[in-house]
Amino acid sequence: MLDLDVERIAHGGVAVARHEGRVVFVADAIPGERVRARVTDAGRDRFWRAETLEVLDASPDRRPHVWPEASVDRAPEHRAGGAEFGHVRMPRQRALKGDVLRDTLARMGGVERDVVVEPVDAALAPGVDAEAGTGWRTRVRLHVDDDGSVGPYAARSHRVVPVRSLPLALAELEAIAPLAGTAVGASAVDLVAPSDAPGEVVVRMPGDRRDDAATRTIVERVGERRFTLDRDGFWQVHRGAAATLTRAVQEAIDPARFDPAADNQDLYGGVGLLAAAVGDRFGAGTRITTVEADARATEHAGANLADWIGARALTDRVDRYLDRLAAEADAAARGFAGATVVLDPPRSGAGRAVVERLVALGPAQVVYVACDPVALARDVATFREHGWELESLAAFDLFPNTHHVEAVARLAAIV
């Protein structure tokens, strides 16, 4: 056992303390606290990992955990995972996320920038308890143990733990979740609540594969606009996230640089959410190409973007697509040099190859939507190596009671 004075928060939702000069990453603690912790991984020279067993001197920002089954009162091996900030008051949660984003950008991206993480506008997320950070998840995956027990994984493990509540989920999903039942033979149980239909329980069996011919579609709404997608396809999890990002991308685009006739791009475009955001702001004549590797998502994007004559949806890997564009001698003449690019890569980020290809093509501006501070900072550093700078940054708390944060950045070449 160690008694630790917690110094700061680290990326990933764990806090940082020191013991005899060695860094200790400790879970379920808040900077400023003194905790008693058990070391779980001492096999590294540079740092250890530990779990809080008892809070000796609590932060004024500590509160009873919003998910009792994840509370520090439980033994660490029985704490439900997925709500690692649930013991922290909401304003401090957002401040901690801002600290991580600011520090990561400075350390890895070379950019000093104050960051304020904004809550989701209550008007965009009806039914969500913004003060508690609960009732926002429209999609939840539960796992199934060998004996058929259904529940989340314990924190930092792949062990199913029984729970009686799912406070981060929409109330309608929590009400139908089979927490007291069994699903012998199943691999997982998904809870899904689309905008235009009741919540649904979907039992997954080992070896299940997506069957394009039989895939069920759902409809999600963002304001007055409807988006069709596969029930198993990607959509933002927070009830108000899609609307929040739509507004944020629209506000991030510099209208003085935007040319509706240019070869504007929505890369990693999914079913067309952010391409639609661009079209809605700049009008039906806007040219925009959305590129997505998932063929089913591209099919839906084509239909979802039918309002714009100049919209098209392509199935392709973004890196290969940009390679082909760069190989075309008339790429600049086609309008890419004056284009606005919306970039919404997976958690791993766009990566050096994609960023370098983009800057070589010379768009007017890039609006980068990021769900991981490290990936964003790394890609910002690559942009800066090639003469681009971070011009604006907004951050949103789309995953309350977790360490995750979403950011929307605008980058442009230094003139």
Is residue 69 a known part of a binding site?
no
Which residues does the annotation mark as catalytic? 371
Is residue 268 a known part of a binding site?
yes
**Residue 230 and residue 216 in contact, taking contact as beta carbons nearer than 8 Å:** yes
- C-alpha distances in angstroms, 358 versus 205, 275, 294, 299, 342? 41, 18, 21, 25, 11
Is residue 236 a known part of a binding site?
yes
**Tokens 């027990």 map to which residue?**
149
Is residue 344 a known part of a binding site?
yes
- Give the contacts of 172 (CB within 8 A, at least 6 positions apart): 193, 198, 199
Candidates 312, 301, 329, 227; CA nearest to 265 is: 312
Token pair of 38 as six digits: 């058990």
The per-residue DSSP string of 236-273 comes to -SBTTHHHHHHHHHHHHS-TTT--TTS-EEEET-TTSH
Cα 211 to the center of its chain, rounded Å: 26
- Give the contacts of 192 (CB within 8 A, at least 6 positions apart): 138, 139, 173, 199, 200, 202, 218, 231
Tell me which amino acid residue 86 is: G
Q: Which long-range CB contacts under 8 A does 254-260 form with residues at least 24 apart?
A: 254/365, 254/391, 254/410, 254/412, 255/282, 257/340, 257/364, 257/365, 257/412, 258/282, 258/340, 258/364, 258/365, 259/335, 259/338, 259/339, 259/340, 259/364, 260/285, 260/286, 260/287, 260/310
**Residue 232 and residue 210 in contact, taking contact as beta carbons nearer than 8 Å:** yes
Element (H, E) at 282: helix 273-282
Alpha carbon distance 116, 394 (integer Å) = 7
Secondary structure class of 299 (helix, strand, coil): helix
The per-residue DSSP string of 82-116 comes to S-TTTTB-HHHHHHHHHHHHHHHIIIII-------
Annotated binding-site residues for S-adenosyl-L-methionine read: 236, 268, 292, 344
Annotated binding-site residues read: 236, 268, 292, 344
